[in-house]
Amino acid sequence: MSATVTSLRERVSLPILVWLVVLWLLLWGDVSWANVISGTLLGLLVTVVLPLPRVRFGMRIRPLRIVALFARFLVDLVAASGQVAWLAVRPGRQPRNSVVRVPLHSGSDLFVAMTAELVSLVPGSVVVEIGAPSARGGQGSIYIHALGVTGEEGRERIRREVLLTERRIMTTFAEPAAYAEYLDRCRADGSAALCERSPR
C-alpha cells in the first residue's frame, strides 16, 4: 500500500496539478466549487494516467552573472540594430544572407533553447531550426538565418558569436557538473578556446 502511495506522489506534481485546475477554470469561465473539484479530479486523472517525464534543470542561479549576461545582450541588441538599420538604408544592392549551422556543447535542451532565444532576439539573426541534444545523442545544434553574411569568414563570425552566447549562458546558469561536461564537449571538437571560463 505504501509503495502505491509513494508511486502516486512521484507521479503527481503539485505545480502541474494547480496549472491544470487553473486551465479548467479558465475553460469554464466560472470559479465555483463544482468546477474546482471536477478540475482537481480531472487533473489527478491526467497526471496519474499520462505522467510527464521528470525534467532535471541542472541550474544554479548566479545573480551577478545574470546582470552581466543581460548587459551584454543589450550591447549586442543596440549594435545589431544599428547594423540592420544601415543595411536597410544604404544604397546599392540588397545584402546577401546565409543559413549557418552552429553545433552547441551544453548537452541540455534547456540551455540550447536559452541560447537560441537570446540569438533570435538580436536583430539580423533568426533561428530556423533547433536540433535538440536529447534527440541527437547529446550534441545539440541550431541553424541561423543571418542577414548580410557572405563567405566563410562571415559564417565563422556567426558561429563564434553563438558559441560565446552559449558560454555566457553556461557560466551564468550551469551547475559545476553540467559545466564540466560542456567543457569536455568543447574540447572534443576543438572549441575549447571559446568555452573555457569557469563559473564560480
Q: How many Å apart are CA 16 and CA 108, to the nearest integer?
A: 22
Helix, strand, or coil (residue 97)? strand
Cα dist. 159→37, 65, 102, 163, 165 in Å? 52, 22, 6, 6, 10
Instruction: Note if the pTM is more than 0.95.
Output: no
Give the model's pLDDT for residue 1: 46
Residue 55 has pLDDT above 90, yes or no: no
Q: Which residue carries 536529447 as its cell?
A: 134
Q: Are 172 and 62 in contact (CB under 8 A)?
A: yes
In 3-state terms the chain splits into helix, strand, coil percentages (rounded to 5) of 60, 10, 25
The residue behind cell 555566457 is 168
Q: What digits encode the pLDDT tens for the residues 182-193? A: 888 888 887 777
Mean pLDDT value across the chain? 83
Mean pLDDT to the nearest integer, 83-102: 85
Measure the CA–CA gap between 113 and 78, rounded to whole angstroms.
22
| pLDDT-wise least confident of 24-28, 133-137, 170-174 | 133-137
Amino acid 197: pLDDT: 64
Those residues whose C-beta lies under 8 Å from the C-beta of residue 62, and which sit 6 or more positions away, are 171, 172, 173, 199, 200
Reported as a single tens digit per residue, the pLDDT across 130-165 is: 887 766 666 788 999 998 888 888 899 999 999 999
Question: What percentage of the chain carries pLDDT values higher than 90?
Answer: 27
Name the percent of the chain lying above pLDDT 70: 86
